[in-house]
Amino acid sequence: MQTGRLGRGTAAQGGGVKKRKGERGEDPPPTFTSCKLPTQQKDPGFSRTMQLLWQRRSTDMDSLWDTDGCESGTEIFSRLSSAPLSSSGVIHVFHFNRHFRFHQLISGSSPSHDFVIRFLSACRADSEPNSLLGQSSEAERWIHLHSSAERRNMPSNKSVSDAPITQFVNCRILKDHKLQREDLWVREGRILNPEKLFFDEQGYADKRVDCEGSIIAPGFIDVQINGGYGIDFSQASDDVTSGFSFVAKKILEDGVTSFCPTLVTSPPAVYHKVLPQVKVHNGGPHGAGVLGFHLEGPFISVEKKGAHPEQYLRTFRSGRIEDLIEAYGNLDNVAMVTLAPELASSQSVVKELSQRGITVSLGHSVANLSQAEEAVKNGASFITHLFNAMLPFHHRDPGIVGLLTSDQIPAGRTVYYGMIADGIHTNPAALRIAHRAHPSGLVLVTDAITAMGLPPGRHTLGQQVIEIQGLHAYVAGTKTLSGSIATMDMCVRHFKQASGCSVEQALEAASLHPAQLLGISHKKGKLDYGSDADLVLLDDALNVTATYISGEEVWRKGP
């Protein structure tokens, strides 16, 4: 059999192409343009994977598509086996000849292991209705029987990297703002481009994870969490790191893969002891990764201090970064600072923090809109728990809330805002107003305190005593809210239910938006090729079923 490139329908090439009945000898051979090929609009079964294969088709293989005249699957396969393995049309023909089973297609032929791997990959990826998915089991059995000898002799992904490849199948992945029925490929902790794997490396998966129809979203990122499970991040204990590690491990159950441990207003001695001990680090089986501290206070308004102890509040004396160094000791592991922009000399501090790459958030403040807009122009980009601990919206001066629709935001900039969607801190109507006014800026935060995961009673938050009553966390003896006891997955579910937003919007508010806020969306918060494989698997009710960091399973819900 000839092994060169196929011609355009001649019997001498590719095993021969029979003419259709009624076809006259002088008629030109069929071409791609004469084939009735489905489109995504007309055929839901024409998945994105198949579109990619179609786009990469070789114009030298027009004759492969004219298979109506072939009397058997063997004849089709014989013709295809003479084609270059790099041609995507080899696999694509199977998509339009589903009436031939896999065992019929290979009957009397000797396909290479790589050829079947490609066919199987297409079967798995093309998992739309009426797809090739049903043929994958037959191809898998062939691979099992023919794998050992051929795999040793074939080119594979090992020529590029010795790292194993994991393929997540039977899933819907959140990508490009919508859920897409595609497989997800991971190598060396990052999401892999399957097209390059198939065509450039002739690679295959070393491990498959059947997601059983689950949603795969980017791992959740919590930029405001004060502690939990009996641990208070603002307590300078003798063993700071073990407490942080315990919380980092527990929040894997909630789908959180990265977080900003938050310290509330505290005396300088607390900052000086805690900050140097908890470094920025990646997550893993030990727990969620630390992206840097969120320092909420002490440069906030006395009038809107909330649960922050007044005796430790500070103002800016020099209007320079030295004021913060004096309070915090250093800024080495700091990702975000919440401050009140109406404080004297605060604007110069906002500018200097932004220049250092530290996110500036506005909160616990009585600032008017113009003061808030000035802070944004100087680099501020976040609002700490919108509506809480700030001036209420007023039609003559909406205050910080007005940033959601301000026309004074510099071009190319986005103001993000945190929402505690626990059903306690914000009325559902207010949640809907904020989301509909500025949906792309909403960042879900837990603002969880030490009592998260603990029974009702009294607990500590920084220098305050907190009392848990039902789902409410109050400063003991008052009705002042002092954080929440909600987990991130609870916030995602409540946000979707209360706002009426889509599943995609709810998930992005806990993943994409916080990553964009912190300037790390090139590696986290997305499922793009090259992104970190920090993943959360959820059922249709948005309950977390498994959590992965760098492609490694770090938590799974028990039976």
Position 305 pLDDT exceeds 80: yes
Q: Residue 259's beta-bridge partner residues?
A: 222, 290
* pLDDT, tens only, 212-246: 999 999 999 999 999 999 899 999 888 899 999 99
Residue 103 main-chain phi, psi, to 5 deg: -65, -30
Q: What is the pLDDT of residue 473?
A: 85
Position 116 pLDDT exceeds 80: no
Residue with the larger pLDDT of the pair 467 and 413: 413
**Is 126 part of the annotated catalytic residue set?**
no
* pLDDT, tens only, 202-219: 678 899 999 999 999 999
Query: Token digits for 309?
Result: 């102890």
Reported as a pLDDT band with limits 50, 70 and 90, residue 483 is: confident
Q: What is the mean pLDDT of residues 531-554?
A: 99
Whole-number Å distance between alpha carbons of 94 and 9: 18
Q: What is the pLDDT of residue 118?
A: 53
Query: Token digits for 551?
Result: 């492609």
In three-state secondary structure terms, 438 is coil
CB 350 within 8 A of CB 339: yes
CATH classification code of 219-526: 3.20.20.140
Q: What is the mean pLDDT of residues 51-61?
A: 45
- CA-nearest of 471, 474, 505, 499 to 485 is 471
* pLDDT, tens only, 143-167: 444 444 444 444 444 445 778 999 9
Q: What is the pLDDT of residue 140?
A: 52
Reported as a pLDDT band with limits 50, 70 and 90, residue 559 is: confident
Catalytic residue, candidates 66, 323, 422, 447 = 447
CATH 3.20.20.140-classified regions of the chain: 219-526
Q: What is the pLDDT of residue 482?
A: 79
Reported as a pLDDT band with limits 50, 70 and 90, residue 120 is: low
CATH 2.30.40.10-classified regions of the chain: 155-217+533-559
Range with the poorest average pLDDT among 63-77, 319-333, 391-405, 443-457: 63-77
Q: What is the mean pLDDT of residues 269-276?
A: 96
CB 65 within 8 A of CB 96: yes
What percent of the chain shows pLDDT beyond 70? 71
Of these ranges, 70-79, 123-132, 486-495, the one predicted with the greatest mean pLDDT is 486-495
* pLDDT, tens only, 471-482: 888 888 898 887
CB 374 within 8 A of CB 347: yes
Buried b (16+ CB within 10 A) or exposed e, 451-477: bbbeeeeebbbbbbebbbeeebbbbee
Ramachandran area for residue 189 (φ above 0: left; ψ -120 to 50: alpha; else beta): left
Position 177 pLDDT exceeds 50: yes
Q: What is the mean pLDDT of residues 504-528?
A: 98
In three-state secondary structure terms, 80 is helix
Residue with the larger pLDDT of the pair 43 and 310: 310
Architecture per CATH, 155-217+533-559: Roll (2.30)
Residue 325 main-chain phi, psi, to 5 deg: -60, -40
Query: Token digits for 532?
Result: 């970190």
Mean pLDDT of the chain: 80
Q: What is the pLDDT of residue 121?
A: 55
Q: What is the mean pLDDT of residues 64-80?
A: 46
* pTM of the model as a whole: 0.75
Whole-number Å distance between alpha carbons of 501 and 519: 25
Q: What is the pLDDT of residue 395?
A: 95
Position 15 pLDDT exceeds 50: no
Q: What is the pLDDT of residue 471?
A: 82
